[in-house]
Amino acid sequence: MAFFAARQPILDSDKALFAYELLFRNSMENAFPNVDEEKATSKMIEGLSLDLGLDRLSRGKLAFINFTKASLLAGHPSFLPPDQIVVEILETVHPSEQIFACMQDLHSKGYILALDDFIHSPKWERFYPLCQIIKVDCLDITEKQLLELSQIPKRHPHIRLLAEKVENIGVFNDYKKLGFTLFQGYFFSKPEVMKSVSLSSSQALLSSLLNQVSHPDFDIDSIVKLLELDPGLSFKLLRYAQSPVFHRRNKIESIRQAVVMLGKAELERFVTLLFAAKFGEEKPSELIRLSLQRAKFCEFFAERTAHKDKLSSAFLVGMLSLLDAMLDANLATVIETLPLSNDIKVALVKHQGWLSDCIKLSKDFEQANWHAMLQGCNKYGVDYDAMLEAYDESILWSDQRLQMIN
């Protein structure tokens, strides 16, 4: 069975990507509450060293990795470079002389130390000079405990507070006022404000292009005319077509040539990528990356089902599943303004049909809902291990494509 790690983004106060938390999963055995944490930590370190690779998963950002008492005392953090990881000390670790000495050693070697799901206790006070980050579970803390935690940076200004399980913008703003500067959760993928939608001219043009390239009757002339209406869009197409990814030998010198050389499938990818970028302007780049990841994951899933002839629909529905957050608007209102098939509209608005199941499965993988992941795969007779690998590939693909359109 392949090594697999779920990757959850951690953002700063400006909603810019700060780091990822990496969570090991290799089998359904590790999905339930009786997971062997020692085994999970050792397998994570092994996998990052030998299989996926830390650089490949963290994209140059810090990687938060969970460590138990036994793995800390065994020196497991030292297998990974101090400038690339955050040693996340689990809540099951209690303050002791052994742990203090271990943290002193890691701190002296340049490791960033974080206390996970933390509740303040006077016993931890002398440990604070060794810690740089304290994580708080927003769903499992009292007002009194939260107030005590918010005072820690006043005594130790080097410490940053991280709120996890932040599920909406209201919680994000409340914790930000308390002095929290790091945030983990899916608040960034939900609309902050509900409002009506008025598409800009460039957004309307991309919507028309999306309709054209997704149509069964691929009309090159119509597509070229639409592309030529926007010089910036034409430039992006030419640059995209000449990317080293496609291994083109001949230089592309016209819009028509680029359209022909890319072909229908890759042109669809190009338009949907730009669609996500345009509709996600002034939003966290992680939101755009997540929409690309969902799109590719949904396509991978459809390819393994009886719907393998509708890969474009699966890709598009994954891409559009975050459109409400990109536009800060009600999803149903947004979708009605776009020339989409009824199957896609029903999946996005009414959460019905196989396309809706594609989105749900993608969310389950993102949020590490392991039992639901297995159920979703079994429903369509899709190999669970294959989708673990597909999830990893969708992460890499989205990273690569985001770099291309930027």
Identify the CATH number of the domain in which residue 239 sits: 1.10.3210.10
- Both 155 and 250 in one domain: the answer is no
Q: Which of 78 and 7 is assigned the larger pLDDT?
A: 78
pTM of the prediction? 0.73
The average pLDDT across 27-53 equals 52
Domain count across the chain: 2
Give the list of residues 6+ apart from residue 91 with CB closer than 8 angstroms, or none: 115, 116, 117, 118, 119
Among 91-95, 172-176, 236-240, the range scoring the smallest mean pLDDT is 236-240
> Between vectors from CA 197 to CA 272 and to CA 357, what angle results, nearest 5°?
50
Domain extent at residue 138: 4-189
Identify whether 195 is part of a domain.
no
4-12 and 17-25 beta bridge pairing: antiparallel
Residue-level pLDDT at 122: 92
Burial of 128 (0-12, 13-18, 19+ CB in 10 A): middle
Report the C-alpha gap between 54 and 45 in whole angstroms.
Answer: 9
- Both 161 and 264 in one domain: the answer is no
Among 59-63, 298-302, 399-403, the range scoring the smallest mean pLDDT is 399-403
- Both 152 and 241 in one domain: the answer is no
- Both 395 and 342 in one domain: the answer is yes
Identify whether 194 is part of a domain.
no
Report the C-alpha gap between 149 and 118 in whole angstroms.
Answer: 9
- Both 351 and 310 in one domain: the answer is yes
Orientation of helix 384-405 relative to helix 285-303, angle to 10°: 140
Cβ-contact 139, 165 below 8 angstroms? yes
Identify whether 166 is part of a domain.
yes
Residue-level pLDDT at 45: 66
Three-state SS for 21? strand
Residue 30 clears pLDDT 50, i.e. is over it: no
Strand partners for 54? none
Among 34-38, 260-264, 267-271, the range scoring the smallest mean pLDDT is 34-38
The average pLDDT across 246-273 equals 77
The average pLDDT across 307-323 equals 87
- In order of 38, 242, 271, 365, the CA distances from 391 in angstroms are 24, 27, 22, 7
Residue 207 clears pLDDT 90, i.e. is over it: no
Confidence at 93, pLDDT banded by 50, 70, 90: very high
- Both 165 and 214 in one domain: the answer is no
The residue type found at 31 is: A
- Both 210 and 127 in one domain: the answer is no
Report the C-alpha gap between 206 and 212 in whole angstroms.
Answer: 10
DSSP label at residue 307: T
DSSP 64-102: EEEE-HHHHHTTGGGGS-TTTEEEEE-TT----HHHHHH
> In the Cβ-directed half-sphere of 183, how many Cα atoms lie within 13 Å?
29
133-137 and 112-115 beta bridge pairing: parallel
Residue-level pLDDT at 360: 96
Residue-level pLDDT at 42: 60
